[in-house]
């Protein structure tokens, strides 16, 4: 266990950040899962910008890598474009 007060504070901050990041990540994964399960094309295209925004925020915060965010968004957009074509 840490002995210095600054190190103890850092441990507390890291735990708080970890919990927050896990929440954001899990919420976004659930949103992606819900979007993929959506069969209605109109609802899919309405929900897509919200999910893409969530993915972008994860990448901005450093929770996921920017390339992973780009891959996720690409797959979702490809599904949206394939359904409309």
Q: What are phi and psi of 63, to 5 degrees?
A: -75, -40
The closest alpha carbon to 75, from 42, 35, 41, 46, belongs to 35
This prediction's pTM: 0.86
If you search the block for the tokens 């979007």, which residue do you land on? 35
The closest alpha carbon to 58, from 20, 84, 7, belongs to 20
Domain boundaries, the chain: 42-85
CB of 82 closer than 8 Å to CB of 44: no
For the stretch 37-56, pLDDT in tens is: 998 889 999 999 999 999 99
Sequence length of the chain is 85
pLDDT band at 63 (very low <50, low <70, confident <90, very high): very high
| pLDDT in the model for residue 1 | 65
- Over range 16-34, report the average pLDDT: 97
């Amino acid at each position: 266990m840490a002995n210095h007060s600054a190190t103890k504070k850092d441990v507390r901050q890291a735990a708080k950040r970890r919990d927050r990041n896990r929440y954001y990540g899990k919420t976004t994964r659930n949103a992606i899962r819900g979007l993929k399960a959506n069969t209605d094309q109109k609802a899919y295209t309405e929900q897509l910008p919200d999910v893409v925004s969530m993915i972008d925020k994860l990448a901005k915060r450093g929770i996921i890598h920017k390339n992973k965010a780009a891959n996720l968004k690409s797959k979702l957009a490809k599904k949206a474009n394939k359904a409309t074509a």
